[in-house]
Each structure stands twice: as structure tokens, then as C-alpha cells.
Amino acid sequence: MAKTKTTFFCQNCGTQHAQWVGQCSTCKQWNTVVEEVLQKEEKRNWKQSSEAKKVSKPLRVNEIVLNPEERIYTNNAELDNVLGGGLVKGSVTLLGGEPGIGKSTLLLQVALTISQKVLYVSGEESQSQIKMRAERLDAENSNCLILTETNTQNIFKNIEEVQPDVLVIDSIQTLHTNTIEASPGSISQIRETSAELIKFAKETATPVLLIGHINKEGHIAGPKILEHMVDVVLQFEGDRNHTYRILRSQKNRFGSTAELGIYEMLSNGLREVSNPSEILISKKDADLSGTAIASTLEGVRPLMIEIQALVSTAVYGTPQRSTTGYNLKRLNMILAVLEKRAGFKLGAKDVFLNVTGGINVDDPAIDLAVVAAILSSNQDIAINPNVCFAAEVGLAGEIRPVSRIEQRINEAEKLGYKTIVASKYNKISSQNHKIRLVLVGKIEEAFATLFA
């Protein structure tokens, strides 16, 4: 019997080491090197056949024939937008997220609504459990086939019989291959099974969707090389205590990574939110001080978000500064500008700032809305709810222009706002807007306009 061979892999970057070391020499992380059993065998392709490999030849750039990307629409508008227009044939997409966030629900909904034949492979749930979830989603698709299997060799045998148009794997950490004697979820197993699936996707032009678990640091479990191997990396975010989920693209070889998809988790599955402003602006009966509406952009999608501020006299010696969804250092900068340039004495007061909806915003175009919310709370005067803001605040107290102002104005007009406050230095076309434009150049002008 052959002697069992072992090797050492870094759990963070996947680097192989000859012996155990405390610190990985590649990624410099400590205590990430683990021992795994390794069985050296002749590597077989996904079909396990001895077909001759095609030898690729170098071509000049002008000799390469450019074929347009063939895409498969998932009938899920939010997912299609994030992917850049649908699933590209032969692409491998990795979907990561926290446990219970809705990864399996999202891909099962896609499998049940897409018009192509789908093979849904689950290594975590039985067929009866998936059937119960499908009944809850209230969606049926005779082209969706469910397989509960974790061995890649058996999966590929079923693939040859079924010949699906789309393959879904839930999840990559549960798969294992016979070519390696290591437990499922280990570095070597994830790397080998992913390589087999990627090879299958490229040779057959079949899109593959993978679900990936994340570790306690929030990164997808397994070697970092997994994210480099796949074509698209999606992150499903959100708080399990809230009903809203955000789908972001961290890597996309076929489209932009600036797109954003928003879903609402309901008892019957995930609902696409086509108008995100409905979840980011709270409904209230009376006008309250300390709130202002800002126009921001997430990728190419304009959003109207609500900024809440609370300014109160400091009870303790040192005033408190706290933010949720906004950069604390930028808040301190804006408070310093208000103190120095506009004469508002806020140094001895507590200031709390919140971006509603549970999202983080780093767009400088919400600066003026932050200023308006702070001054509204400080003066205890409510801002007209039909007014929104889109401008950056500079260190000299000037109101600076922001990018794509036309798109922000059109979104505010579409949502029914009557007035938008922006920088007078913005280049706005002469087209007639139904919304009233208030163009200001300094903080004092904005204050006089709002609280005159």
C-alpha cells in the first residue's frame, strides 16, 4: 500500500508549503497553514476520458474573430442588471454571503423562473427540503431538475445524461473529488472541484452558478485563488434582522462592478425592489426637524436617501460624534467647516448622524444634505419634505458641483420632489425641468434659503 502523502496549505491564499510554518511566506498571515492529505494521481478532465487535448495556437490581434457574448436572461431584473445583462454562456459566477442571508433562496428562485433547463445540485439539503422551499416560493418549472450529490464524478455523470443549459452548485464547500484524499471544504478540495467545474463551463459553454460560504472575517471561505479563477464574484449583503438585501458585484469580467441589486425578503421569497427610494425614505405623518433628503448614486442607479441628524447639548465633558452609514471623519470635517466658515457653534454639542435603510454611503454629493440635517436639528426647524439636496461641501465652505447632476435631477423630479438644491457651479443644460432648481455657492446661501 502506498504511503499516505501530506502537504501543507495556507487557508488564506492557498500557497503550498513543504512543512508547517507559523507565518505564510506569501500572504504574511499567521496560523493559517494547515496539513492536508494529498493523493497524487493523473489528473483527468471533467469527462474522465482520454480525449486528446486541443493545442491552442497564437494569433495576431487582427486575426482574432470577435464573437458577441451570448447571454441567458434569468427573468430576475435585479440579478441581470448586476451581471451586466444576464448570464454569459460558459461563465462561472460565485455568490457569497452570510449564513441565512438568502443565497440558496435567490438561486432557487432563478432556477424556478428561468426558461432554460437547469440542474440544481445541492450538497446541503435533501430533495424534500428543496421541494418544501419551492412550494413556499410558489414557483414551478418543469425544466428545473434537483440533484442531491457531493461527488463531482457522480455530478458529471448526471450532467452528461441531463445536458442542462445552466448548472447551480449549492455549495462549493460541500463538493469533493476522488482524485484528492481530503475532506470536503478543505483548501485542496475547493481548488480541485472548482477547477473541474470551470473546465466544464468553458468546454461546454454552460453557465455555472456557485454558492460560497464566508468565514468570520467576511471573506469567501477557501483559497483566495478561487475568486481569481471564476469570472464573476457577487456578494449578498444585509442584516438578518431587516428584510432588505443588497446584491453587489465585486468582480465581473463581462460588465461593470458598480451595479447594485436590492431585494426584500418576504415569506414567499425575495421580491425585487425596482424603486429603492421606497425603502430608504421613512414614512412619517408630521414634519420633523433633523431630516433631509439626499440624491446619491450607487453605480449608475440614482437613489434618494434620508439623512437623520440629532444635535443636542453635551451632557458630559467631551461632545460625542457618532455616525451610522457615513464616514465619521467626514462628519468631523463638515462640523469644523460649519464652525469656522459659517459661525455655527457646534463644538460643545453632541452630534449623531444616521443614513436610514441600513446602507453605507461614500458619495460626497450627500454633504449638503448632511449640513441641512445638522442645521435643521440645531435650529429645531423642519425642512420641507419636498426639498432634496445634491452637492459637495468644500473646506472653504463653498458648495461644490457633483457628477451626473442631470440624472439626479431627473430622479428627484420623477419621485415627485418640488425643489432640488445644488451647486451653482454645476453645468446644467437648459432643458426645462418641472422641478425647481435652487443653485447656491456657499453654506450661508443654503442656510438663508432653507431657514429664512
Binding residues for ATP: 97-104
**Binding residue ranges:** 97-104
Going from the C-alpha of 435 to that of each of 197, 275, 278, 367, 421, the distances in angstroms are: 53, 19, 20, 21, 10
Q: Assess contact for 425 and 400: CB atoms under 8 A.
A: yes
d(CA 372, CA 334): 11
DSSP string, 262-319: EEEEETTEEEE-S-THHHHS---SS--TTEEEEEEEETTEEEEEEEEEEEEE-SSSSP
Q: Residues with Cβ < 8 Å from 324, sequence gap 6 or more?
A: 353, 354, 355
d(CA 404, CA 299): 11
Q: Assess contact for 57 and 193: CB atoms under 8 A.
A: no
Going by C-alpha positions, the residue among 86, 72, 84, 92 that lies closest to residue 172 is 92
Q: What is the distance, to the nearest Å, from the Cα of residue 59 to the centroid of all Cα atoms in its chain?
A: 37
Residue 350 one-letter amino acid: D
